[in-house]
Amino acid sequence: MDRLETPELDALLDEAGEALDDGRAEDGLRLAHRALEMDAGSATALSLEAEALALLDRADEAEERLEEAVRRRAGDPEVLLAAASFAVDWLDDDHDAVRQALDRIGDAIKVAKRRDDSSLMGDLHLAESRALCVLGDLQGSAAACERARDVLGDEPEVLLELAMAWFEILRLDDADDALRRVLADIPDEARAHHYRGLVAERRGDRKEAAAHFAQARRLDPESYPKGVELSNEAFEKAVEVALEKVPERVREKMKDVPVMVEDLPRDEDLTGDPPLSPLSLGMFRGHSIRERSLMDPWTELPGSIILYKRNLERDAATRADLVEQIEQTVVHEVGHFVGWDEEDLHERGLD
């Protein structure tokens, strides 16, 4: 909890949050600064200030402000949560930062347990869930979200996070039930409609999926664009163009590695080790060049690269965006063929 609680401060924080929700980052920043003038130690105000700065393309400044707060208020669980949440939500391409966020969440959980602060504990577990998802630990992410539910109960925000985590590990019935409950309380929750669309799509009900996707797009067109659909021929042509950009020495090694297009990932691909997200854009099946060995003939069998058409098309705002994402995904999966793991790809900016 913030150290100083007054109706005036609460009103400022609410107003700042509403401004950010409406996309008015400058107003949100101004209001967050006013709140910090009233209480320089307000973790909520720090979080709002950081979000506003990030929206204004000043993420480095936001990170510096939060790091300063962490140093100044060492061990404060609310500030640790603010810094960790910012890293997970805005610095998710920096896995080292997300790992540090997990460490900070762990430290804050210890304090929250000593305080017996269930509200803070639930918020920390939700942040933990998002961090684990970013790092690819889908089962761990769902478990953390279930811990949040244990202390916060069936609040709509908790159910929504839990539904998204369950979708990732293919607990589709549980996810759909939670999403229905969210929409019963908040009919205009765009994320819930979008995820109900994803659940319906995996079940093969394209009509229901389209209806929910359209509703999510109506409620939040910026987050959920219409997407771009290409004919199979046009999509395959874009893949061919992408392959031409792979270095020739690598293409030579790929002569027996077909690049195929499927609508969505198969269940058996999603439950491997490590598990794959249902929203994955592509995958490499088989043994990489580094793994091949004359001592093990099975490793010599040719692999394949798979691109998932619907996942690629769904989030593309324009045809150019889709073509660029196809190219990036081809390069990413070729990286797996070469023998790079997810961390190698991340370090090379290919994730």
Give the CA radius of gyration of the chain. Answer: 22
- Band of pLDDT at residue 290, cut at 50, 70 and 90: low
Kindly tell me the sign of the dihedral angle through the C-alpha atoms of 5, 124, 13, 66: positive
Percent of the chain with pLDDT over 70: 89
Ranked by mean pLDDT, the top range of 30-39, 167-176, 284-293 is 167-176
pLDDT reported for residue 288: 59
- Summarize the confidence of residues 30-54 as an average pLDDT: 93
Q: How would residue 264 be classed by pLDDT, with cut points 50, 70 and 90?
A: very high
**Which pLDDT score, from 0 to 100, does residue 1 have?**
43
CATH number of the domain at 232-347, out of 3.40.720.10, 3.40.50.300, 1.10.580.10, 3.30.2010.20? 3.30.2010.20
pLDDT exceeds cutoff 60 at 30:
yes
- pLDDT over 60 at 100, yes or no: yes
* pLDDT for res 289: 58
pLDDT at 223 exceeding the cut of 60: yes
Q: Where in the chain is the domain with CATH 3.30.2010.20?
A: 232-347
Q: What is the pLDDT of residue 4?
A: 52
Model confidence at 157, in pLDDT bands (50, 70, 90)? Answer: very high
pLDDT in tens, 135-144: 989 999 999 9
Look at 11 and 256; give whichever has higher pLDDT.
11
pLDDT at residue 294 greater than cutoff 50: no
Terminal-residue alpha carbon distance, the chain? 37
Over residues 217-242, the mean pLDDT reads 93
259-262 and 304-308 strand pairing: parallel
348 has pLDDT over 60? no
Residues of the chain with CATH 1.25.40.10: 7-172
pLDDT tens column, 191-207: 999 999 999 999 999 99
- Check if the beta carbon of residue 41 is closer than 8 Å to that of residue 25: no
% of the chain surpassing 90 pLDDT: 72
> Does residue 15 have a pLDDT over 70?
yes
The confidence band for 5, taking pLDDT boundaries of 50, 70 and 90, is low
CB 169 within 8 A of CB 139: yes
pLDDT band at 335 (very low <50, low <70, confident <90, very high): confident
**Is pLDDT of 44 > 80?**
yes
* Whether the predicted pLDDT of 350 surpasses 70: no
Average pLDDT value for the chain:
88
Architecture per CATH, domain 7-172, reads as: Alpha Horseshoe (1.25)
Region 238-248: mean pLDDT is 87
